[in-house]
Structures are given as C-alpha cells and as structure tokens.
Structure 1
Amino acid sequence: MLKKLALSALALTMSIPAFAFDSYQHIRNATAKIEYAGQTFLVDPFFAKKESMAGFEGTFNSHLRMPLIDLPMSTNEILKGVDAVIVTHTHEDHWDEVAQKAIPKHLPIFVQNESDAKLIKNQGFKNVQVLHEKLTFNGVELHKTGGSHGTEQMYANPQLATLLGEAMGVVIKKDGHKTAYIVGDTVWTADVNKALHKYKPDFLVMNTGFARVNGLSDSIIMGVEDVLKATQIAPNAKIITVHMDTVNHTATSRDDMRKFVIGEKLTDKVIVPNDGEVIDFK
C-alpha cells in the first residue's frame, strides 16, 4: 500500500506543469510567456535570430543589426503549452516574420484594432480577435488600456505619426489572482494613470528601453524616470522592466536600469529580469 501511495504521489508531482503558479517569463525584448489561472499567454512574439535584421532606419544606433542578442531558448520551447497570443501592435520587434511562421495558425490572437486584425488574418491566422475594451478567455479577463507610442510633438509630424502608429496595453485579471498590467509601447500618458488607478495592478510590466528617433530628445517608450514615477503612483505594485538590450534604438540598457534601481533604493519594488527568467506572481 505504501508503495502504491508513493507511486501515486510521484505521478501527481510529474503531472504538475512547469509553472504551478501564475508567473511571468521574460523571453526577450517585450516577448513574454504568462501563466495565468491555468492559461498560457504569449505576448509580443519576436523570434528573429541575432543580427538577422537591419536596424530601424532613422533611429538611435541604426547601424547596429538586430536583434542584438539571441533568444534564450528554442521557439518550440517558447510555444510549448501556449493557449493564446497577445499582440500589442505589429511593429516587427513585437510581431516579426519568424514568429508569424512559427506560431500555429489556429491559435487565438488578440489585437488592438481592426487594422492589425486584417493584417494578421492576411498572414493566414484563423482566430484573430480585436480587444475593444474587455473580453474573457477561458475565465481570464483581458482589458485593453490606452497609451501613446511617442509624444504629442512626434504625432504632430504626419510621417512620424504613421511610423509610430498605435499600440495598446493589456490588463490581465481574475478574482483570486494577482492583477497584471502589460503597459506596452507607450510614453507616460493620462491613460496610463487611469489604468493604474482603475485596476490597481499587483504587477506592472513596463517597456523601459527609452527608444530614440534621430533628431529628437524624447523617447517613443518609457525609461528610468517613468519607473520611478510608477513606484510613486503605484507603491504596492511590483514592477518588471523589459524592452532593453535587444533592438538598436533603445538607449537604456538593463545595466543602466539596475544601476538606477540601486541608486534610487528600489530593489524591493523593481525587477530587471534576464532573458528566460521566471517571476512568480506572489
């Protein structure tokens, strides 16, 4: 009898998934794998091999080929167990050709608007859904949040406004689970403040590479000062900083961010993950 109980316990242990609790796994850049309430979401898949793409033209360090680093694991491993994909926008460092070829065409894909939905459907994907304000996927709520992929001055330039386009954030929540807010490619706006006050996230994922366009001093996404601001506006949230060390135009590195976090005494609030690192939502 004891032997049977031991074998049963072993079988139960072996059946537990790799992520037994809700978690965020940083893959690279803004790509992440989120285990949440029994569902696995892949966010902003960017699967290109190191230096296989030209740098973004007209941006900081455009002479550098990207991605600057390789993926920390195979695409097969990344895609293992994925139930749905969230694409905050279709810039190629969030939704690239390699990912488009690797991701099964039947997987649900959630996007920000009809334009992105049309593009991805034309790439052969069969189940593309627009996240208008809120939808529920297998019991998990996804809430769309707003932002701006650049400053007001940038969007006053029609050519630059077209290049920047739109990008959304997403809040993931369910009763009994920690609430996570994927801020997305945005500068700090009133929409970010609204989302923080409305959803009171326990975990905040911020794209903080401070990506630069030539000739402009401001960034098209957040940076270190925005992390400090987040700790002040959402003092109870754990902050995960990403979108660094991968594409040519990010002027803030993870080393820069870690030095800033230490200097501001924020190590108990801010996490700067390595590629492949898993953070439990606890």
Structure 2
Amino acid sequence: MNIQLIRHATLLVHYAGRKILVDPMIGEPGSYPAVMNTANDHRNPLVPMAMPLARLLDGVDFALITHTHNDHFDVAASKELPKDMPLLIQPEDEDKLRGFGFTDVHPVGTSLTYAGIEFTRTGGEHGRGEIAQKMAPVSGFVLRAAGEPSLYIAGDTVWCEPMEAALTAHAPQVTVVNAGGARFKVGDPITMTGADIAEVLAHTPGTQVIAVHMEAVNHCAESRADLRRFVQAKGLEQVHIPADGETLIFE
C-alpha cells in the first residue's frame, strides 16, 4: 500500500492493485474565498497541488469521497473529474453528485465490496456540540483487501465515540486522520489536534497514524511544525506527518 499526500486531505492511495483518489480539492491556489467566520481572510487553497491535474488523474480507477465540503470535493472537482469516474460516497451525498452529472455513483451504506476491496463506512463528529450538528454529515471508511494492511481513512472528525467505536471494531493497521485543528472564531476545533491524535494512539497503540489536512486551508490553526513538536514531546513515534507530494509505503 502506497499513500501519497497531494494537498490537504487529497490523497492518491495505491491499494490492492487499484489507484484511488481521495477527497479531491483540485482548484488553483486562491480560487476560493476564506472559510467564513474564521480568524483571517486568506483565500483558499493556500498552496498548489503537488502535481499537475492531468498527472493526478492519470490511471485513477475511482474516487473515495468522505463528504462534499468544498475542501474535500471542490467546485473544480465537480467540473474537472470525468463524469464517468466511479465515486464511492456516503449516501447523503448521492443526489448532489448525480446533480453534477456523475453517472457511476456508489453509496456505501454499511459496507460495500468494490474492485476487490471491502469498504466499511464509519461515523464521525466534525466538531463538538452544536457545531458538529451543523457540519454533519461526515463519514470515514475502512478498507480491507487480501495482502494489504487494513486502512482507516477517518475523514473530518475529532476524537469522539463514533471514532472510538470504529477503532475498536476494526483495529486498523494504518489510520489517516485530518489534523490541523481547523476552527471558527468561536467554538472548539472541528478537526483533529495533537491531543485528539494522542487519544487515537492511547486507544489503538498498534496503528500507524498519518496526519494530513494542514497548511492548505485558512482555518487550520495547527501547522505540521506544531504537530511535530507535540508528537515528539509525547513520544508518539507511530505518527507520520507527510509533506505535500510525499509517499508513504506500508507493507
């Protein structure tokens, strides 16, 4: 299994002989306004993708979309992805994606086997309290296939009971978390902080954690350097913090 970080939460995952595009935010830097009600007015995305779009899409077998907030499936993705590209999604997003003209849409209710890979959808909380209710729905996905490590793409969630339940049920060997401590002017973070990641590893010490979702959207308050200092101080050696374009390999 190879996992390449493209930018933010956009990944290329090579798994069971398939090339999977995860959460495509493919717009040009500065093409979207700042997230509303946040501490600065920097336009998004803040940085370019790690490769040109044509190269990113070359050979992709299908896309996995955790939810359709603009930083996970942006306006550019709705226009530029081939309309016949298979999309694996949470059921709540089916009408929206079909409305964009996509014709090969596969909602994952509880689980679905596609292209020889078992996908199990998991829950999450995109923040806490009232904010989480307003930001819902979001999903994560656990991938399993013969000869591959189990992979949990947690999606936009903080540490919460649904995530704890997913880790208990699936004990994934690799877990991708959306870090950055994204937040609005009021309320708690709506994506993972270092403290949330520490909870993941306290619960499931055998998993390898890949932390993404940093330094690309204006409301993500915690940088890679911030997280690196935290995990080093806590001795969390299982945490990987890739740069844009970096590929991690797991046997």
Shorter-normalised TM range: over 0.9
TM superposition shift of 1:102: 1.8
Asked if structure 2 preserves the Cα contact closer than 8 Å seen for 1:52 and 1:66, the reply is: yes
Give the conservation status (yes or no) of the 8 Å contact 1:188–1:222. Answer: yes
Within the candidate set 34, 37, 59, 2:13 is matched to: 34
1:154 Cα deviation from its structure 2 partner: 2.5
Alignment-derived partner of residue 126 in structure 2 = 149
2:28: which partner in 1? 49
Once residues 121 and 249 of structure 1 are traced to their aligned partners in structure 2, the CA distance between those partners, rounded to angstroms, is: 29
| In structure 2, C-alpha distance between the alignment counterparts of 1:222 and 1:112, rounded to whole Å | 21
Equivalent residue, structure 2, for 1:4: none
The answer to whether the 8 A contact 1:60-1:211 is kept is no
Q: Separation in 2 of the partners of 1:112 and 1:30?
A: 16
Partner of 1:205: 176
Q: Share of identical aligned residues, percent? A: 37
List per-residue Cα deviations over 1:130-154 (Å, max 9, x = no partner): 1101001111011100011121243
Mapping 1:115-154, distance limit 5 Å: 115-154=92-131
Residue correspondence of structure 1 range 1-282 to structure 2 within 5 A: 22-61=1-40, 63-113=41-91, 115-155=92-132, 161-162=133-134, 164-216=135-187, 218-266=188-236, 268-282=237-251
- State whether residues 159 and 200 of structure 2, in contact with CA within 8 Å, keep that contact through their aligned partners in structure 1: no
| CA–CA separation in structure 2 for the residues paired with 1:253 and 1:80 | 30
Larger radius of gyration: 1
TM-score by length of 1: 0.86
Please report how far the alpha carbon of residue 23 of structure 1 lies from its aligned counterpart in structure 2 after TM superposition: 1.0
Helix, strand or coil: the match of 1:82? coil
User: How far apart are residue 222 of structure 1 and its match?
Assistant: 1.1
**Gaps in structure 2 of 5+ consecutive residues:** none
CA distance in 2, matches of 1:60, 1:90: 23
The C-alpha deviation readout for 1:110-131, integer Å capped at 9, x for no partner, is 1112x41111111110011111
For residues 60 and 225 of structure 1, the distance between their equivalents in structure 2, rounded to whole angstroms, comes to: 22
CA contact under 8 A between 1:24 and 1:278: conserved in structure 2? yes
Could you say what the CA RMSD is over the residues aligned between the two structures, in angstroms?
1.2
- Partner SS state of residue 99, structure 1: helix
Cα distance between partner residues in 2 of 1:96 and 1:75: 14
Q: Once the 2 structures are TM-superposed, how far is the Cα of residue 230 of structure 1 from its aligned partner?
A: 1.4
CA shift, 1:40, in A, is 1.2
CA distance in 1, matches of 2:77, 2:122: 24
What is the deviation of 1:221? 1.3
